[in-house]
Chains A and B, each alone.
Chain A
Amino acid sequence: MTALTDLDMVAAAAGLEKRDFTAVELIQAHLAAAKAARDLNAFIVETPDAALGAAAEADKRRLAGKAIGPLDGIPIAIKDLFCTEGVQTTAGSRILKGFAPAYESTVTANLKRAGAVFVGKTNLDEFAMGSANITSAFGPVKNPWGRGSGKDLVPGGSSGGSAAAVAAGLCLGATGTDTGGSIRQPASFCGIVGLKPTYGRCSRWGIVAFASSLDQAGPMTRTVTDAGLMLSAMAGHDPRDSTSAPLPCPDFAAAAGQPVKGLRIGIPKEYRIDGMPAEIDALWRKAETWFKDQGCEVAEVSLPHTKYALPTYYIVAPAEASSNLARYDGVRYGLRVPGETLDEMYMNTRAEGFGPEVRRRILIGTYVLSAGYYDAYYLKAQQVRALIARDFAQAFERVDAILAPTAPSPAFAIGEKMDDPIAMYLNDVFTVPASLAGLPALSVPAGLSQGGLPLGLQLIGRAFDEETVIRAGAAIERAAEFDSRPSRAGRR
């Protein structure tokens, strides 16, 4: 039999249903794997006692013939950006060390209601600001891939702990959040599937806010079908998030099984940037033939404002962050560093509580929103953002989904690209445009680099059309037959 930590959700659910193993056995295998893989630093907190209790409940329900659905008893890890009642929630920051929320985020509450068993809280870039998981106050996460090469690699970010945990077999799926690529880029670096839903699909209530007009939660899994299953559990209208869409959720997983014949796939010519590694360009072209072979029409499309997406993002996101992070002042929760006056207490607390990247972004955001500069930076960025969204709307008049690489490189070594913030920001060059436009986008592992590291391809769809993205993603999954696993897991 396949090791329990090697299953996907569909296979695990079938095994539970057939009584091949219990939910307690399933979680025990994953807790043991998590313990044995602590050097990856994928988790900030493991919650084995709660997990064993939840798994025992799942087994009881199943014995009574009252299993809830496909996620009942399935081990899942939670990015430490989701508030979990009574369980430390840090956002990867010193300023929230020890913070135990009095409430549960909507997304994690939805997953619990579906029977999911939480392995623990995964490491991330501080306040989800980063593309390599090196800004966490709890230390960097190591990518389970590329071990033995002498250098530890980054898992991508900001959902790096979640991606590493799924890739290394420490859980069957994990939640991530994506503001400019934080689900898709680590999914690409770790050889797993990552889905950023349409803005508004999953409630933001109870998720530590970074950039409110961009933040969106989504699933990180081993297969496209699993991503659909998990999204169905996470999504849905929530009156407590005013931007939550009051729309019914289709059966996302079912879309993975639908044929793609007749689908029109767009190739955005502006994504063919200078300096893109030949192997990524080649993989991208190969995927065009996969779609053609499955009866799709492939056409070039133009997204003329693509090159302005990153600079737009680096005005909008820090501006929103500077406002959102004003709440960390030492008064109501989190770190407090004393001062003689109230202002000094604020300043001392925030100096000690925030790391360098968060501080940098707060300062940029404060500057671009300050009197005299607002129009030149923030208003301008909002206008360009409108043009970026319009580019996509025009392209989707001609095609049903857009195919592009997820990231401009495979995973790199911990310590690289750290001296120059802009070099690090360029990791998100292919993911940020869909974020700005609020569109659903999926990264699916499609091949290996010459160095043996996973490379993902990305599908972008129309707003609230996750189904087409899942359907097209599954077509790549079928054609790529990506079954490589990290050397660390080394079981296939």
Chain B
Amino acid sequence: MSLTRDQVRAIAFLARIRVRDEDLDPLAKDISGILHWVEQLNEVKTEGVRPMTSVAEMTLPLRADKVDAGGNRDAILKNATDPVEGFYTVPKVVE
């Protein structure tokens, strides 16, 4: 699969990364090269093989539904840009 400039632009938007126009072609070339290379997996017969989602052969553990952490608002907000009165701030999203 070879990617076009427009496809790279669309993926970059999905990933919310701004890509300059002059970078689109080199990125398309790089990513297409890597995709061609990984497509060698098509040689492998995988009918009926259960996909491996985790190496840990275990049922995920449950814990008691109890609050065991929290109340750290100020410590957590310390790393935020421009927090206001205990809240994160972002550009206005509702007109």
Contacts and interface: CB of A to CB of B under 8 A. Distances in A.
Interface of A: 99-102, 199-200, 213, 239, 242-243, 245-246, 305, 307-308, 311-312, 314-315, 322, 329-334, 336, 338-348, 350-351, 354, 359-360, 362-364, 366-367, 370, 377, 379-387, 389, 421-422, 436-438, 463
Contact of B81 (A101, A307, A336, A364): A336
Contacts of A99: 79
Contacts of A322: 15
Contact of B15 (A312, A332, A340, A362): A362
A362 B17 contact: yes
A364 B56 CA distance: 26
B37 A422 contact: yes
A200 B31 CA distance: 32
Nearest to B55: A438
B75 A239 contact: no
Contact of B38 (A315, A351, A370): A315
B84 interface: no
B67 interface: no
A72 B12 CA distance: 48
A350 B90 contact: no
Contacts of B12: 363
Contact of B34 (A213, A242, A336, A421): A421
Given A200-B55, A342-B90, 13 more contacts: A213-B55, A243-B58, A245-B56, A311-B40, A333-B79, A341-B93, A343-B16, A344-B91, A359-B17, A364-B34, A367-B35, A380-B44, A384-B41
B38 A314 contact: yes
A370 B42 contact: no
Contacts of B43: 308
25 contacts: A102-B79, A200-B56, A308-B41, A312-B41, A322-B15, A332-B79, A333-B80, A334-B79, A336-B81, A336-B82, A338-B91, A339-B91, A347-B13, A347-B18, A363-B11, A366-B15, A367-B3, A380-B46, A383-B46, A383-B50, A386-B51, A387-B44, A421-B34, A422-B37, A463-B55
Contacts of B18: 347-348, 350-351
Nearest to B16: A346
Nearest to A85: B75
A406 B55 CA distance: 22
B41 A422 contact: no
Chain A interface helix/strand/loop/mixed = helix
B25 interface: no
Contacts of A363: 8, 11-12, 15, 17, 27, 31
Chain B interface helix/strand/loop/mixed = loop
A468 B38 CA distance: 34
Nearest to A353: B17
A248 B10 CA distance: 48
A367 B46 contact: no
A99 B79 CA distance: 6
Contact of B52 (A200, A246, A338, A389): A389
A380 B41 CA distance: 7
A243 B38 contact: no
Contacts of B79: 99-102, 332-334
Interface string B68-94: 000010011011111000001011010
Contacts of A308: 40-41, 43-44
Given A199-B56, A422-B33, A102 B78 contact: yes
A339 B93 CA distance: 12
B68 to A, nearest CB: 9
B52 A347 contact: no
Contact of A341 (B8, B37, B51, B91): B91
A353 B44 CA distance: 38
A354 B54 CA distance: 27
A395 B88 CA distance: 53
Contact of A213 (B33, B49, B53): B53
A305 B44 contact: yes
Contacts of B51: 379, 382-383, 385-386
